Copies of this chain bind each other. A is one copy, B any other.
Amino acid sequence: MPPSLGSWHDERLRVRLEETDAMQIVYYSKFFVWMEVGRIGLLREVGLPHAERVRRGFNIPVVQAHADYKAPARFDEEVLVRTRVASIGRTSVKFESEIYRLPEMKLLCTGHTVHALTDGSGRSAPIPEDLRAVLTSS
């Protein structure tokens, strides 16, 4: 995939008690929930809210997910989830994420997800040109 980095989309979240575990830190899988909140927010910002994707009949299921954990998050803290398009291939798109604790902007986690576009019948499909355009210029 050629590099075509978009700009960062920011979402602020507050850690819910439900997201913590008995180690008194946020459970590791929850960072992927936050990355998804960031992706959905980015897609909404570039004009592709969920309703529009449903109308056009395509979907972008996750084919790879990765996280590197740097420091824990704790209950009631505020975190910043930054998301951008890392690269776009013919049929797939890669988002990357950085998650920080606020207000000090301490880096807690970096990660990425890769998604393969599928059409209405669930088959892999090329990314439409207009979608590629908005994601590239995001």
Contact = CB atoms under 8 A, between A and B. Distances in A.
A133 interface: no
Given A17-B36, A18-B27, A29-B29, A67 B69 contact: no
Interface in A33-74: 33, 36-37, 40, 44, 49-51, 59, 61-69, 72, 74
Most buried by B among A16, A17, A32, A113: A17
A29 to B, nearest CB: 4
Contact of A69 (B29, B50, B62, B74): B62
28 contacts: A16-B37, A16-B40, A17-B23, A17-B40, A18-B29, A18-B36, A22-B25, A22-B75, A28-B36, A28-B62, A28-B65, A28-B113, A29-B30, A29-B33, A32-B32, A44-B76, A49-B76, A50-B76, A61-B69, A61-B72, A63-B69, A64-B66, A64-B67, A64-B69, A65-B67, A65-B69, A66-B66, A66-B67
